[in-house]
Amino acid sequence: MGNRAGRSDFEWVYTDQPHTQRRKEMLAKYPALKALMRPDPRLKWTVLGLVLAQLLACWLARDLAWRWLLFWAYTFGGCVNHALTLAIHDISHNTAFGSGHAGRNRWLAVFANLPVGLPYAASFKKYHVDHHRYLGGHGLDVDVPTRLEGWLFCTPARKLLWLALQPFFYSLRPLCVHPKAVTRMEVLNALVQLAADAALFALWGLKPVVYLLASSLLGLGLHPISGHFVAEHYLFVKGHETYSYYGPLNWITFNAGYHMEHHDFPSIPGCNLPLVRKIAPEYYDHLPQHHSWVKVLWDFVLKDSLGPYARVKRVCRLAEDRL
């Protein structure tokens, strides 16, 4: 199974997350950044196109042999479904219709969720706000792996397995780290998703349903685009807890690679994040950045210094109140 990774605990820090102060400084220096905090009028149409593409793929998958169904689920469906989860991420910040139309944003996210096959959008929004508010917060930021993950997935083979099973860990971790009450929107999300899956099965049989589920599990697992899960916040360079990637995969991921910019300005839609760097290059160009998400995955598996423990953690005030 290989040798154990070098880390035996998280990187505990006793400072506030850096993005809040950076945001204040940058807005004071560059007021033009406020103009970028506007809805993306193209986002809803892009989501519609991706959903329709997967609907067409489901129709074509009816008669595919199983091996070809899995092949296309990984190579095509995995890219589309991963892109849709990142659209849901963008929408969770109310970037499709603006903060004044929260309901429209929520239902667009539910619509974008349909090809994913499992209800996800409402739960993601509920927890993602804590990731921004309490970045690395102990017991609050469910993006940070658990101690069990850090202890268990500590060799190259185990880390490879951990990457392949990312959809399961991201789904189950919130229930262990910071369980919250089920919301009405989560129930509606689940009912809509169940109805869509049932209709797809009734119309075209089992294979389209399997195709969508395989697209999500494979596309969010050991897949080139999944490099962003690791690239965003794992400690590749000591002292830096957020990283950007400016490569071509941003074209199909709503600029998810501009992650430093996103944490500095969560209300700016993905389409405008490159403009943040263009307006204020001195805040970004000198920072460590990734050039390949595939290399990120490669390094994560093979380097002893990297693993689930390679994350910054801090005790936030709310977490102290709960202990």
DSSP 150-176: HHHS-SHHHHHHHHHTHHHHHHHHHHH
User: Using CA atoms, how far apart are residues 139 and 106, in angstroms rounded to an integer?
Assistant: 26
Q: Residue 119: which domain range?
A: 11-314
| 120 within a domain of the structure (yes/no) | yes
One pLDDT digit (tens) per residue for the chain, 323 residues: 444 557 899 999 999 999 999 999 999 999 999 999 999 999 999 999 999 999 999 999 999 999 999 999 999 999 999 999 999 999 999 999 999 999 999 999 999 999 999 999 999 999 999 999 999 999 999 999 999 999 999 999 999 999 999 999 999 999 999 999 999 999 999 999 999 999 999 999 999 999 999 999 999 999 999 999 999 999 999 999 999 999 999 999 999 999 999 999 999 999 999 999 999 999 999 999 999 999 999 999 999 999 999 999 999 876 444 43
| 239 within a domain of the structure (yes/no) | yes
What is the per-residue pLDDT for 7?
85
How many domains is the chain built from? 1
What is the per-residue pLDDT for 317?
79
Q: What are phi and psi of 122, to 5 degrees?
A: -65, -40
What is the per-residue pLDDT for 4?
54
Picking from 186, 222, 238, the residue whose alpha carbon sits closest to that of residue 10 is: 238
Identify the three-state secondary structure at position 12: strand
Distance of CA 38 to the CA centre of its chain: 21
CA distances in angstroms from 208 to 51, 127, 212, listed in the order given: 14, 30, 6
Radius of gyration of the chain (CA): 20
| 100 within a domain of the structure (yes/no) | yes
Residues 6+ apart with CB under 8 A from 220: 78, 81, 82, 85, 166, 167, 170, 226
What is the per-residue pLDDT for 316?
87
User: Using CA atoms, how far apart are residues 207 and 184, in angstroms rounded to an integer?
Assistant: 31
pTM higher than 0.85: yes
| 319 within a domain of the structure (yes/no) | no
Residues facing 314 on adjacent strands: 137
| 118 within a domain of the structure (yes/no) | yes
| 115 within a domain of the structure (yes/no) | yes
Residues 6+ apart with CB under 8 A from 139: 177, 178, 319, 322, 323
What is the per-residue pLDDT for 49?
98
Amino acid at 117: G
* DSSP at 7: -
| 159 within a domain of the structure (yes/no) | yes
| 4 within a domain of the structure (yes/no) | no
